[in-house]
Structures are given as structure tokens and as C-alpha cells.
Amino acid sequence: MKESSREKLRRRKPRRKLEREKNSKQKKKKKTPELALSSSLALSPAFDAAPSPLPPLHCPNTHLLFLSSLFINPPPLPPQGGDGYCGFATALHLSARGYAVAIVDNLARRSYDAQLGMETLTPIASAHERVKTWNGISGKDIELMIGDVCDFEFLSAAFQSFKPDAVVHFGEQRSAPYSMIDRARAVYTQHNNVIGTVNVLFAIKEFAPEAHLVKLGTMGEYGTPNIDIEEGFITITHNGRTDTLPYPKQGGSFYHLSKVHDSHNIHFATKAWKLAATDLNQGVVYGVATEETTAHPKLVNRYDYDGIFGTALNRFVVQAAVGHPLTVYGKGGQTRGYLDIRDTVRCVQLAIDSPAAPGEFRVFNQFTEQFSVNQLAEIVGSEGRKLGLDVRVQSVPNPRVELEEHYYNARHSKLQELGLEPHLLGDNIVDSLLKFAIQYKDRVNLELIKPAVDWRKAGAAPRVESAAVASRK
């Protein structure tokens, strides 16, 4: 009996398209140069070692369609590059390990910054320049397709052109505060994220039914229930009957709720169309450097520290570097799962290398450790003082509607069972991040540090210029 292409991929021997084999034979084999760190990127001890030899290729010649940023109904601004914090680092990681990668992106991410008067801590090159730089120094060939995944005609053409074996879907508006600025951005977030994902599902069904979908979700879908959080499903007994059901969802913003809708839609598509899908419910990511993003100054990753796109630990690090009090929301007992960006890229690879079966909807909780906001502030404060920084902690009114003291215990064993060896948050990691932030502290806009988006005040009237800056009253 002839073996299916998905069966080949499941035993880590991916299918090869006949036309690609024909084309590849016509090309001369390129010699891959070694990746070397630029001397201008002094990232401190945890990051400044030369890249280690790449591990054995698990899926050589696997073709990955990497859906990066989406943006529908854009403001009247010229596109300025859409390579995201986790997305571009993951694309480079996969490319370096032998996967054929195509990035689908409409260059939206930095237009959010342009709307709100924000800027990443690090000076980053355009998406085109970064891809060109990577291709030049690595000898690989990432393909960049410019277009909107909410445009199904474009997406259909991308699928038919590239013929993916796996689809990595990071292409969504990722900020809870952004979705709570005003009605327009709440609607945009829901429309962009949900419709984009539905388009991806139909594209896989029509043009790549054997492709494995790896979708980036969020631990925020679960909320903070007073019971243990399972990985996607929970077995319950009610009135004498037992069933295994999707774990209850309690999204805490219009962004989180868009992710909940995505999960339901993907689960339905796996049942109706026998698609294979893995939902990675990711925790809060920290860090900035991966082996690939430190290979050249033009590959440096973005680092958000503002109150809209900045994550808790990354914000605290910048606040400590510039002498601003660490802004703890409310009581500071809010507890979440966290992971290093180096583990983010590895988790995606693990999901690709061991794909779901046809008709299977898998859920992996993608984080490595749990911390409260107070614990993070204590860790940053301790390491900052070792560097001679005057680190203080300030409790500020919580702009979010959430429990500030609660039970939190989430399972996260499935990725480690697949081989994840986590980078845990140690003193050297925080020390490295602090030194990195100090290196770029002259680029910090102090007006962006305090939280400016209040869940309770989101209204129908649009907020643009002032949305990222806290009221001075």
C-alpha cells in the first residue's frame, strides 16, 4: 500500500514535490557560510557566544508556509515592515535547520507603532532587508510573499505557488491592550484574527489538505480558574456520565476572545475536514536573542517595552535600565506561564517534527515556568541592584479587569515529552537582558512606560495619537 505524504512527515521524512525536485536538480549547490555574531551587537555573556553547530535536520526539504502578520482595513499609512517579535525569530530558526520557509506578511506590525507613536527599543531593518540579509549570510532562501491573509484570493495563490507541507500561523494582532483601545481596534482584532484563521483553514482544505497546521494560541484563553488548567481538554463526570471536552475558556480581552474563537474554528475543521492541527497555547514570552537573530546587526529582534505590546518581564527590564519604578499592576499577584523566546522557536519546531494525525486537534500549553508579577519585579530588582541600578517598585492602578490574587496551576508536559529542554529564568538571563536594555536606553520614550489603555474606559470614539501615553492628570 502506498505511503501517504503525511505518514512520511510523521516519521520525519517529508514529501517532496516533483516539480521542486526537478528545479532543485537544476540549481548548483550553495555552500552555507558559518553564521558569525557581529561585534557591534554586544549582548552580554548569555548571548554573545558564537552560534553552536546546527543540530541534525529533522525535516530536510520540508516546505513551510509561515503566516506572519495580517492587517485588514489599515490606516492611511505606508507599510513599514511587519516582521514580528516571535514570528521572525521562528522563521530564521526553522530556515537554519533545513526547512524551506516562505513568509506570508502584509507588513503590518510596525504600522501599529506608527499609529500610536511607539517604537521598538532596538533599531530593526525592514522585512525585505532582514530576509535579504539572512539569505546572504546563511546560504538559505527564505521567500517573502507580501499580502494579506484576510484576502483569500491572495492566500489561495500563495498556497498554490508554494505547496506547503506545514503551515505555521502567527499572523494575528497579538496585543490585549491594543484590542481594548477603542471600538475600531476591538472590531479589527476580532475580524483580522478570526477571519484570517478561517481563510487559512479553507486554503488548507482546498489546496494542501495533507498539510499540518501549527497555530499560535495563548494561555490567556483559559483565564484564571480555581482548578488546574489541563492541556486543551478536561475529563468531567456530570450526573453519572463522563466525557472529555475542550477545557472551558475565559478570555480576558477582545484579543483573547479572538483566540478562543480561533480554537473552536480549528477544532471544528479538524472534525469536519480531517485536517491535522496543533494549537500552541503560549505563555508570556521574554528575551530578545536567538542563535539566528544575533548573527548580524540587521537581524536583531524587536523589543517592545511600552504598555501595549511590551510583555511584563521585558517592560520591567527596561524600566530598571532607565531608572523608572517597576510598574506593578494592582496587588501584583497575577500569575501566568512564561518562556524564553529561544524556547518559543524550539516548540514550533517540535510541533512540526511530530505532526498531528488527520482529524486530530492537539493542544500544547507552551510555557516553562510560572511567576507572579510580584515575583518578576523581585527578580529584576535583585539583578538590577547587582549592576548598581536604583530599582524601585511602584504599584499602579490595574488597567485590566482581572483577578489580582488567585490560584494558578497549568499543565505543560506535552512539549517536554517531545524533547523540549527549557531555558529557565536564571540570574544570568535577567543580567543579560538588563545589559541589553542599558545598551539601547537612549531610545526609550519614558511617556510610553506607564499603562495607557484602561479596560473599563474603552469606548466607541476612536483614540489614536494619545492611546499609548498615560493621562497626565
Residue 7's closest CA among 363, 271, 276, 215? 276
Q: Among the options 259, 298, 435, 450, which is catalytic? A: 259
Q: Using CB atoms within 10 Å of the CB of residue 466, give its burial: 0 to 12 exposed, 13 to 18 middle, 19+ buried.
A: exposed
Our answer to whether residue 255 is catalytic in this structure is: yes
Say if CB 434 and CB 387 are below 8 A apart.
yes
Q: Which strands form 63-67's sheet, in the order they lie side by side?
A: 143-146, 100-105, 63-67, 166-169, 212-218, 276-282, 361-366
Our answer to whether residue 218 is catalytic in this structure is: yes
Rounded-to-integer distance, Cα 365 and Cα 242, Å: 24
Q: List, in sequence order, every beta strand (DSSP E) within 140-232.
A: 143-146, 166-169, 212-218
Q: Among the options 120, 218, 327, 344, which is catalytic? A: 218
Give DSSP secondary structure letters for 347-383. HHHHHHHSPPPTT-EEEEEE-SEEEEHHHHHHHHHHH
Q: List, in sequence order, every beta strand (DSSP E) within 149-208.
A: 166-169
Q: Among the options 247, 255, 329, 408, which is catalytic? A: 255
Q: Using CB atoms within 10 Å of the CB of residue 116, give its burial: 0 to 12 exposed, 13 to 18 middle, 19+ buried.
A: buried
Q: List, in sequence order, every beta strand (DSSP E) within 202-324.
A: 212-218, 233-238, 241-246, 276-282, 284-286
Residues carrying an active site annotation = 218, 255, 259
